[in-house]
Structure 1
Amino acid sequence: MQNLKMYLFASLTILLLLSGCNTKETNKDIFQYKDSYVGDNSAVGNIVYKLPGAQQLSGIELKTKEEPYGIILNYGWEKSENQYKELVIYNTTFLFTLVKNVDWITVKSERKEYTVTKEDLQKWYGKDFSNIQTAKELRNLVQQNLSNEHKVSEFLD
Structure 2
Amino acid sequence: MDKRRMIIGLLILLVVPIYIWIAYFEIPDKAKVGEEKLQQDPLTHDYEKMLSFRTTHMGDASNTNAFFEALPLNEHKGTIEMDSNRFYLLVHYPIATSDLDGIAEQAVIYNTTAAFVLIGNLQEIELKFQDQSFKVSRDRVEKWFGDDFTTLSEPSNFKEKVQQRLDDSSLNEWLAAYTEGE
TM range (shorter): 0.7 to 0.9
Listed as ranges, the gaps of 5+ residues in structure 2 are 1-36
For residues 155 and 82 of structure 2, what CA distance do their matches in structure 1 show?
23
User: Equivalent residue for 1:37?
Assistant: 57
Q: TM-score, normalised by structure 2?
A: 0.66
Alignment of structure 1 residues 5-154 onto 2, 5 Å: 17-18=42-43, 20=44, 22=46, 27=48, 29-64=49-84, 66=85, 68-78=86-96, 79-80=99-100, 82-146=102-166, 147=168, 148-154=170-176
Q: TM-score, normalised by structure 1?
A: 0.75
Higher RCO (Cα < 8 Å, 6 or more apart): 1
User: Equivalent residue for 2:6?
Assistant: none
Deviates more, 1:126-135 or 1:44-53: 126-135
Whose helix proportion is higher, 1 or 2?
Answer: 2
For residues 40 and 122 of structure 2, what CA distance do their matches in structure 1 show?
29
For residues 81 and 43 of structure 1, what CA distance do their matches in structure 2 show?
29
Distance 1:33 1:14, change over 3 A: closer
Listed as ranges, the gaps of 5+ residues in structure 1 are 1-11
Shift of 1:126: 2.9
Distance 1:57 1:72, change over 3 A: same
Taking only the aligned residue pairs, the percentage that are identical comes to 22
**Cα contact 2:55–2:118 (8 A) shared by 1:** yes
Shift of 1:138: 1.6
Q: What SS does the corresponding residue of 1:91 show, helix, strand or coil?
A: helix
Deviates more, 1:122-131 or 1:112-121: 122-131
**Cα contact 2:65–2:80 (8 A) shared by 1:** yes
Whose strand proportion is higher, 1 or 2?
Answer: 1
